[in-house]
Amino acid sequence: MKTRMSVLGVALLGLAIGACGRSEPGTAPQAAMTGEAERAVADAKAAASKATAEAKATADKAAADVKAAGAKADADRKAAMEKADAEAKLTADKATADKKAADAKLTADAKEASAKLDAEKAGAEKTAADAKAAADKTAADAKMNADKTADAAKAEADAAAAAAKAKETATLSEKAKSLLEQVVQYIKDNKLDDADTTLKKLDEIKGSLPSSLADQVDNAHKMLAAKKASGGDVGGALKGLMK
């Protein structure tokens, strides 16, 4: 724009000078043309100066606009970079936080699973202990009942055996008394062989007789021996035997 205005000014100045040249020197038209040329030159200079100033203003404005656009572009680029950095940092921070949360959750889940396993193990151990205690108690109760049953059976058997023995002893005692009476009578009747035979029967059961009857068997042997030896009266001895 500045170059075009300068060229225009030079052209106007040339026209003014040409107009002046076409008039004859010393004439009135020549003088008038000279004034017009001077005004044209002045106008051309003013127009050139104005054009130059406008061109300079336009160039300055364009430079300022370019500078402002560059500054804005730099600012926008910086803002975009800062925004990108901020977003990247937020993304990284979120990723870090998510990873930390995931790790914490994994740790918590692992801890919970471990606690659950420990609880299940403790429950299983308690169940096993309870089962063992119940089994031990059942076994102990069974043994106690078996012992009671065995003791009762033994006591019953002992009682039966004692009763049988007592009955046998009573029977043998009655038999022994009867045999002793026979011995006494045989000795009185001087049937010494019969007395001897009867005493042998008494000797067979003597071990099962009460001591009082066993002593009478021994006395009967003595009386029979005395009778055989002397052939005398053994009535007093026989009375002592039958007490």
Domain closes at, from 36, 57, 77? 77
Domain closes at, from 50, 77, 104? 77
87 in a domain, yes or no?
no
CA distances from 223 to 56, 109, 174, 183, 234 (A): 184, 108, 21, 10, 7
Kindly report whether the global pTM for this prediction surpasses the value 0.75. Answer: no
215 in a domain, yes or no?
yes
Query: Is the sign of the CA dihedral 157, 159, 162, 168 positive or negative?
Result: negative
pLDDT in the model for residue 17: 52
The total number of structural domains in the chain stands at: 2
161 in a domain, yes or no?
no
202 in a domain, yes or no?
yes
54 in a domain, yes or no?
yes
Mean pLDDT split into 10-residue runs, the chain, 243 residues = 54 55 58 81 88 88 86 83 80 79 78 82 85 88 81 84 86 95 95 96 94 95 92 54 53
196 in a domain, yes or no?
yes
15 in a domain, yes or no?
yes
Domain closes at, from 36, 51, 77? 77
55 in a domain, yes or no?
yes
Residue 194's domain comprises 171-241
pLDDT in the model for residue 110: 59
pLDDT in the model for residue 179: 96
Which of 211, 219, 214 is closest to 241 using CA atoms?
A: 219
pLDDT in the model for residue 106: 79
pLDDT in the model for residue 11: 60
